[in-house]
Chain A
């Protein structure tokens, strides 16, 4: 099974900061990589699909890049409502999630 290593596990940043999260796959997964946001007590929400495509209705401050084994998720200007946990998820016939990154606002 493909393992997803996500880092950091948590971070604290100020409003307006640029935030970057990385996800590394144990094998080449092409661009089958999605990013989700989860707020406490709520279901995850799809933000980015196929590594770099913004889901409809998602603010443009969210972006994703990468292919193969190394992927990056970026919030260009952190907003108060971005306080959440973010997960990467790969697909190779089986869906596997990364360990998550908890983003806190300073």
Chain B
């Protein structure tokens, strides 16, 4: 099970950090991906982090603005997005998988609203 932090409302230029707490499985055995979905749009993969090694892979459009981390002591993954813009308004999901190619289990989503 993946449980995410609550909804956030941010102003343009601010940062947001979303958490994703895992339970019911060995956290370090899985890869955590972050996927966002803007209102009325399809999912957009942002990148993944290996809970075992801490290695990350991010989509180029987010490089420099996103940081993915994990805390193995609490089985929690984090995604921080900086320099927020209005078009970053979306539901942000974490999803886990035994491999990086598919997303087996999903969190409930965190709505991030960016508005002045």
| Given A43-B106, A43-B108, A45-B106, A91 contacting B100 (CB threshold 8 A) | yes
Besides A38-B43, A89-B102, A95-B45, 20 other A-B contacts (C-beta < 8 A): A36-B43, A43-B106, A43-B107, A43-B108, A44-B43, A44-B93, A44-B103, A46-B103, A46-B104, A49-B102, A91-B101, A93-B57, A94-B45, A94-B59, A95-B101, A96-B45, A97-B43, A97-B44, A98-B42, A100-B42
| Interface residue from B45, B100, B101, B107 paired with A97 (Cβ < 8 Å) | B45
**Contact of A34 with B by CB under 8 A:** yes
**Contact of B33 with A by CB under 8 A:** yes
A34, B103: Cα distance in complex, Å: 9
- B74-116 vs A, CB cutoff 8 Å, 1 = contact: the mask equals 0000000000000000000101000011111011110000000
A49, B109: Cα distance in complex, Å: 22
- In the complex the two chains form, is A43's CB within 8 Å of B93's CB? yes
Secondary structure at chain A's binding surface: helix, strand, loop or mixed?
strand
- A78-106 vs B, CB cutoff 8 Å, 1 = contact: the mask equals 00000000010101011111111000000
| Complex contacts, A93 vs chain B, CB 8 Å | 57
A44, B33: Cα distance in complex, Å: 13
| Given A87-B42, A95-B45, A96-B45, A44 contacting B57 (CB threshold 8 A) | no
Secondary structure at chain B's binding surface: helix, strand, loop or mixed?
loop
A46, B104: Cα distance in complex, Å: 6
| Complex contacts, B104 vs chain A, CB 8 Å | 46, 55
- In the complex the two chains form, is A34's CB within 8 Å of B102's CB? yes
A65, B95: Cα distance in complex, Å: 24
B107 to chain A, nearest CB (A): 7
